[in-house]
Structure 1
């Protein structure tokens, strides 16, 4: 389960990310709380979140082009330093009492700009640290790392905001970037897997898009992640409405739903690390199970049943994420990896701003149970249809037969269809 941690360079990276991810979750909570305190407006909180994700939507593909051209370790040293400086400046403004809401907006936008390069660089740098044999394990542990921080960071932020103030949460986040920067500086360059960088030239963005368009395994994986990210992952809309409008249980239950989902996500990431290989059938099966469980949760009659369903939903959601991420990285030419990962992250992260208003409209018009059911139905349908497309592209057919008196359903090569039909 933890085999990639035997690689010294990845171990340094992993430890740095543990500290930094906790700080990042602390800043997310503190940032929203500060904006709400300054303005009293939930809309202003939404503007802050939008400003942080807007650069990825606008410039994400260009960030991928830069990542393919630049040495990734050097690029990460720059982006991690920039995000650390943004946190420290916001901390100083808050602690001295000079902070205004536009300062928070500017800091969120600056972090978003750094993320345009940082996100694809971090994703693709993993393969340079561990190589192809340990890639899924390392990607899975990165996800487990992030989910663990999601459990710890908000709790610590809440205590810090209550005890000493919002400014110290920003300060912790800014200083937390010392850990990943130190890890990057301590790495042994000779132990990194050499990847040929793309030369500077015209048309590289278009070249990346053409590369993906000519690879059905990549494009359909990204399409599936796009459907699920847009329609299935709108949990801030669904969970708050279930807590207040359906079960009338308040903020405590909303927090419990999120915690249980984070636990499931952590389990999913660790199981993916243990599997060691990225199989398309695992991704398709997880996507179908994820959508089906959302449909079941939409009809859950009690709070406790709904809460318990958050664990497997989180687990299958993380399985989709890890398997898609790994299969795309392993199936992509290293010289194209930055551009392809940038497209993947843009589709995955960009789905929420599109899907959340749709989910909110359905919830307001027809109720939150209908909203969650529609999201689950779209996710499950997309999984089945894209699974059939990928099977056809891979020269497979769906075989239904009997084995030992039990129905047996699986994909088999087309040329074996007649043999299996005769045997059945």
Structure 2
């Protein structure tokens, strides 16, 4: 993990909390503006890529392959990139990913200028760029709290969304103008030059590194740890399920928009502009609402309002009203996604943050991809407006159905406790082979049995989420006041990782269990090592 300095953090607390406060942090400001220029180049290139394939009279399958090769690496490789981002230098990972993206862009530019750019070369180059993006994105997302103070993470996430939406609205216009004036090759060159600026911005960024006590996790171990964390984390279960369901329904708005525009490029462009403008306006509203409204209410309200927008668009024929509805829809869209992203940023401990963001992005994009495919087919069979009505109704019903699936309040309880005490034993065993069994003995009054069980069930979730392989609770047959909590860990190194992953919220639960113990001494802990080859 890399952090901003304490001096910067103290200064941030004295600053007025506004949407643009993160831009007062120099690293974030430089990277943000460089990213804006890079995003403009990326969206300009997307227009040029489609134009090239159109000139070659490419089939609809070939055109669709651009979307496939763009999204597939992000879905398949993000979790692996997340493991690296949680264990290694995030800045270097970002630079490696950006270099791959730049290389892919340089290949497209070279082929375009010498006249050897074909559909296959274009798609393969875009695939290389997408692989680079899948390497950089988890590190990029997780590095936000290293560029700004903790209380500015939400605003930084919103500003990055504004950045992306502004570029999506303006970039294609720039691309269209350049294609008509200087040609597609120069658009590809512009994208490469824009990326060089972003590479420079990340290169000059300096961080403060805390000392690492434990070695980095291997890929397989890291992926398993992330999946286990997601399984036993209420935050991740809620975010992943709700974002997938949201993407499944809300994707209809983006998937059916070109059909709704009646294949007129100008109208489609105006519709995209309305969504982008709404997203930018909505970012200011989100900033104000964050301090006034609970995150769950904000997400649910925005989802319900978006469902109403989709129902209105599906039933209205007046273009002006549709544009107004799209602007409101853009505001709802950014409210929901920025809230989910901020929740993961704030409620997930640093040791697994990049992987958690990767899992969130994977489920969201999976919902968007599956939804786009389904709504496109439904609109083709029935009608585009009927498709929007069905999608809006589904979003409304699913949002109401998931109202009880709430996220915790955003606070610092979910940060890992720094400098957690580590057991020190000079024993002859491998840190990577023999499994470890831990037994903790409690003495609990009989009249508090039910209360103890209710609390220790929460502790079970903590143990399993942080790395325990199995967990059990036993009661002494002769003395009913004696209880044993027993959990198994894969090896000693994993046990040390477990101890380092304890958050403030976890410590509160552990303290509650320990306070119920009535023995003269604290609960006694035993650690046992599996004897693969008994020593004689």
- Shorter-chain TM-score range: 0.7 to 0.9
From 284, 287, 302, the counterpart of 2:318: 302
| Helix, strand or coil at the partner of 2:224 | helix
For the structure 1 residues 348 and 172, does the alpha-carbon distance in structure 2 shift closer, same or farther, using more than 3 Å as the test?
A: same
Give yes or no for the alignment of 1:204 onto 2:222: yes
Give, in whole Å, the separation in 1 of the partners of 2:239 and 2:127. Answer: 29
Give, in whole Å, the separation in 1 of the partners of 2:303 and 2:211. Answer: 34
Give, in whole Å, the separation in 2 of the partners of 1:193 and 1:285. Answer: 40
Partner of 1:221: 239
Give the C-alpha shift of residue 250 in structure 1. 2.9
Q: Which has the higher contact order (CA 8 A, sep 6+)?
A: 1
Give yes or no for the alignment of 1:250 onto 2:260: no
The alignment's C-alpha RMSD in Å is 2.1
Give the C-alpha shift of residue 194 in structure 1. 8.5
Query: For 1:25-46, what per-residue CA distance to the aligned partner results, in whole angstroms no more than 9, with x for missing partners?
Result: 1111111111222243222110
Give the C-alpha shift of residue 276 in structure 1. 5.1
Partner of 1:269: 283
Give the C-alpha shift of residue 105 in structure 1. 1.2
For the structure 1 residues 146 and 41, does the alpha-carbon distance in structure 2 shift closer, same or farther, using more than 3 Å as the test?
A: same
Is the CA contact 1:90–1:170 (under 8 Å) kept in the aligned structure 2? Answer: yes
Give yes or no for the alignment of 1:153 onto 2:171: yes
Give the C-alpha shift of residue 304 in structure 1. 1.8
Residues 73-222 of structure 1 mapped to structure 2, 5 A cutoff: 73-190=91-208, 199-201=216-218, 202-222=220-240
Give, in whole Å, the separation in 1 of the partners of 2:391 and 2:210. Answer: 41
Partner of 1:22: 40
Residues 273-422 of structure 1 mapped to structure 2, 5 A cutoff: 273-275=287-289, 279-390=295-406
| Helix, strand or coil at the partner of 1:189 | coil
| Helix, strand or coil at the partner of 2:273 | helix
Give, in whole Å, the separation in 1 of the partners of 2:212 and 2:268. Answer: 45
Give the C-alpha shift of residue 236 in structure 1. 4.1
From 239, 248, 259, the counterpart of 2:273: 259
Is the CA contact 2:100–2:131 (under 8 Å) kept in the aligned structure 1? Answer: no
| Helix, strand or coil at the partner of 2:322 | helix
Is the CA contact 1:49–1:108 (under 8 Å) kept in the aligned structure 2? Answer: no
For the structure 1 residues 198 and 218, does the alpha-carbon distance in structure 2 shift closer, same or farther, using more than 3 Å as the test?
A: farther
Partner of 2:56: 38
Instruction: Specify which structure has the higher proportion of helix.
Output: 1
Is the CA contact 2:178–2:184 (under 8 Å) kept in the aligned structure 1? Answer: yes
Query: For 1:106-156, what per-residue CA distance to the aligned partner results, in whole angstroms no more than 9, with x for missing partners?
Result: 111111111222111111110111131110011111111111111221111
Give yes or no for the alignment of 1:232 onto 2:246: no
Give, in whole Å, the separation in 2 of the partners of 1:232 and 1:155. Answer: 25
Residue correspondences, number: 388
Residues 49-60 of structure 1 mapped to structure 2, 5 A cutoff: 49-60=67-78
Give, in whole Å, the separation in 1 of the partners of 2:224 and 2:107. Answer: 37
Partner of 2:427: none
Which TM-score applies when normalising by structure 1?
Answer: 0.86
Give, in whole Å, the separation in 2 of the partners of 1:119 and 1:194. Answer: 24
Give the C-alpha shift of residue 353 in structure 1. 2.5
Query: For 1:42-81, what per-residue CA distance to the aligned partner results, in whole angstroms no more than 9, with x for missing partners?
Result: 2211012101211122222222112212211111111112
For the structure 1 residues 197 and 273, does the alpha-carbon distance in structure 2 shift closer, same or farther, using more than 3 Å as the test?
A: farther
For the structure 1 residues 195 and 114, does the alpha-carbon distance in structure 2 shift closer, same or farther, using more than 3 Å as the test?
A: farther
Give the C-alpha shift of residue 326 in structure 1. 0.4
Partner of 1:407: none
